[in-house]
Amino acid sequence: MHILCKSNCYGLILTHLVFKSKIFYLIKYVLCCAFKKFQEAIVSTAIAGAIVGAAVGGWMNDRFGRRTSILLADILFLIGSVIMAAAPSPGVLVLGRVFVGLGVGMASMASPLYISEASPTKVRGALVALNSFLITGGQFLSYLINLAFTKAPGTWRWMLGVAAAPAIIQVVLMFTLPESPRWLFRKGKEEEAKAILRKIYPPNDVEEEIQALHDSVATELEQAGSSEKISIIKLLKTKAVRRGLVAGMGLQIFQQFTGINTVMYYSPTIVQLAGVASNQTAMLLSLITSGLNAFGSILSIYFIDKTGRKKLALLSLCGCVVALALLTFTFRQTETHSPMISAVETAHFNNTCPGFSQAVNANEWDCMKCLKAECGFCASDVSSKRLPGACLISNDATKGMCQKEHRAWYTQGCPSKIGWLAIVGLALYIIFFSPGMGTVPWVVNSEIYPLRYRGVCGGIASTTCWVSNLIVSQSFLTLTVAIGTAWTFMLFGFVALVGILFVLIFVPETKGVPIEEVEQMLEERGLHFKFWEKRSPTQKA
């Protein structure tokens, strides 16, 4: 335990990640509520900033150091939160969101990279997994705050502006933390780096670690010559870097395209698609989903250095396939067995949906057709939601008329007797995803690249993550309209199946391998399907 205390990186993890996750997901919720018509575009604004931040941050990590990059990210958080709190118009609010996105992108790889390079080998995975736990814990906290302020008008400025406080705290605390010892070694500051390593490792291990790091840096400098320039061509020509990028970028792509952020961004919407009419109930169920995400991250802290990165990712993806299959079945059943539309019930309100009144085959209309016509479904009554109901114009006045008669009002999904299975499917998905694919990509990307290329390659992988995130978040609601919710989840399940094959073939096991030996492992490894067998870094496939 004394070794971990001496590593002196917990202050960074706690202040940075709770702040980052809380404000990032809090902003998403506030903006989605304020501009629901442009929900996908608004959610994507900060992600676009994160893409730029990740791309620039990779270069900054190698040029100026991990600590400086995190400090700059804090400053961007601070500026963004102040702008949003004082925003006089939606345009200015979005501008502040872009600043926050830049900070998120820069910090998304700098933080796990810093933690990885400042941690003992035996607990390196657990400490980077702690990074993921504080992110998911911040999401859970943001849902609690959202729920607390749902009926408090005008408080969104405080909700967004309060994020400036942790940013300021972290800026102060960062000045008490050392730079990454591996980056210092790479820049020729060996004595300073050795002093930090002696605080991290026990006396009987530190000299071996210093010698391994010294040899690794010497080899890299010999290969690189006097040039400090790094080109894409040079990256791709280096076998270890190329293999590392394939594994690292691929993990980030599959992390996003298995649909995790659609669950986290749109979980209230998905719960309503399952047939839950109440917005507040949907938010409460989403709070449970967020709590399961945080719990899964705790499991990752325990298992990642015991089970291994590769096995954990494979178990995670297999579980996601099962959960997504359940979601596909449930939503398909909901879509094909929704309540019929009654002309009598509809006429009762004098606010008939235009599509229904003009339909040639109105007697064949059901709740799903009504919602696809951008109208609302007013259930027959609270106790018999699956009986034929009314298809009405979707607005606040109509909603009030429906609820005044103690009926449920649906605009996202239809009532179903198996809608609860969708909640079970979402819970299973989070439980399987969070400990594995939620954490493994960040752990692997923090340790798989040679020291000379670590910042740049980490930035490339992080940019890949945010670009994938943008594509998925921008297209999810569009996909549900175009092909239906059921087939959208089936598509995510197919991606998860492909991800299993990818991890089996391309991702090496880095559990217990010193960072300086990972490059050697990548140089020598071939395909290694028997991932459960122990394999030393120098063992050839």
Q: What pLDDT score does 146 carry?
A: 63
- Judged against a pLDDT cut of 50, whether residue 541 lies above it is answered with no
The pLDDT of 222-236, averaged and rounded, is 62
Across the chain, mean pLDDT equals: 79
Domain topology for 26-218+251-334+419-524: Growth Hormone; Chain: A; (1.20.1250)
- Judged against a pLDDT cut of 60, whether residue 154 lies above it is answered with no
When mean pLDDT is compared across 204-218, 397-411, 481-495, 527-541, the lowest value belongs to: 527-541
When mean pLDDT is compared across 16-30, 56-70, 133-147, 420-434, the lowest value belongs to: 16-30
The residue among 276, 417, 259, 266 whose CA lies nearest residue 333 is 417
Contact partners, residue 114, CB within 8 Å, separation at least 6:
9, 12, 66, 67, 70, 180
> What is the signed CA dihedral for 52, 20, 177, 205, rounded to 10 degrees?
-90
Whole-angstrom distance, CA of residue 541 vs CA of residue 537: 10
Whole-angstrom distance, CA of residue 233 vs CA of residue 92: 40
Helical ranges in 274-395 per DSSP H:
279-303, 309-336, 343-347, 354-357, 367-372
Tokens 């304020």 correspond to: 34
- Judged against a pLDDT cut of 70, whether residue 41 lies above it is answered with no
Could you tell me what percentage of the chain is helix, strand and coil, using 3-state DSSP and rounding each to the nearest 5?
75, 5, 25
Whether the CA torsion 277, 281, 287, 292 is positive or negative: it is negative
Place 503 in a pLDDT band, splitting at 50, 70 and 90: very high
The angle that helices 309-336 and 485-506 make with each other, rounded to 10 degrees, is: 160
The two tokens of residue 531 are 């991932």
- Read off the pLDDT of residues 282-321 as tens digits, 9 standing for 90 and up: 667 767 777 888 888 888 888 888 888 999 999 999 999 9
- Read off the pLDDT of residues 83-142 as tens digits, 9 standing for 90 and up: 888 888 777 888 888 898 898 888 888 888 888 888 887 888 888 888 888 888 877 777
- CB 275 within 8 Å of CB 416: yes
Contact partners, residue 499, CB within 8 Å, separation at least 6:
254, 257, 258, 317, 437
Q: What pLDDT score does 372 carry?
A: 86
Label residue 315 exposed, middle or buried (CB < 10 Å: 0-12, 13-18, 19+).
Answer: middle
- Read off the pLDDT of residues 166-184 as tens digits, 9 standing for 90 and up: 788 888 888 888 888 888 8
For residues 413 and 461, which has the higher predicted lDDT (pLDDT)?
461
The two tokens of residue 211 are 């010698």
Rg for the chain (alpha carbons), in Å?
A: 25
Range(s) of the chain covered by CATH 1.20.1250.20: 26-218+251-334+419-524
- Read off the pLDDT of residues 337-376 as tens digits, 9 standing for 90 and up: 889 999 989 988 888 999 998 888 888 899 989 988 889 9
The pLDDT of 384-393, averaged and rounded, is 85
Place 491 in a pLDDT band, splitting at 50, 70 and 90: very high
